[in-house]
Amino acid sequence: MFKKLKEKWQVSWWRFTFIFITFAIGGSSCAKIASIILQYFISEKDFVYWIIYVPLVTILWPLCVIIISIPLGQFNFFKNYLKKMWFKIKGVS
């Protein structure tokens, strides 16, 4: 699976490792930030918390990944990756 992704993205193993680290740190930090934001307004025990949490994480994720990608030197990869995702969401080829 990893080899397939590495070949698809056409990157070295070192760069592939940094991309995965960026995904991991970006996703984790995004989840933590969303949790911190929501704890001021809604208790985690409320059902509404989870209804708001999932879209909030979805909105925050690209921002977190871009910010984390800068110090890890993967900004260009994630800029292009997110651009491709945006066009797929919009339905533009």
Cβ within 8 Å of residue 34, ≥6 positions away: 53, 56, 57, 60
Q: DSSP labels for 15-84?
A: HHHHHHHHHHHHHHHHHHHHHHHHHTTS-TTSHHHHHHHHHHHHHHHHHHHHHHHTTTT-HHHHHHHHHH
The reported pLDDT for the residue numbered 46 is 82
d(Cα 39, Cα 11) in Å, to the nearest integer? 39
- pTM for the whole thing? 0.79
The reported pLDDT for the residue numbered 67 is 94
22-70 per-position pLDDT tens digit: 999 999 999 999 999 998 888 878 888 889 999 999 999 999 999 999 9
The reported pLDDT for the residue numbered 21 is 94
More confident residue, 2 or 93: 2
> Would you call 19 exposed, middle or buried from its count of C-beta atoms within 10 A (0-12, 13-18, 19+)?
buried
pLDDT at 93 over 80: no
pLDDT at 17 over 80: yes
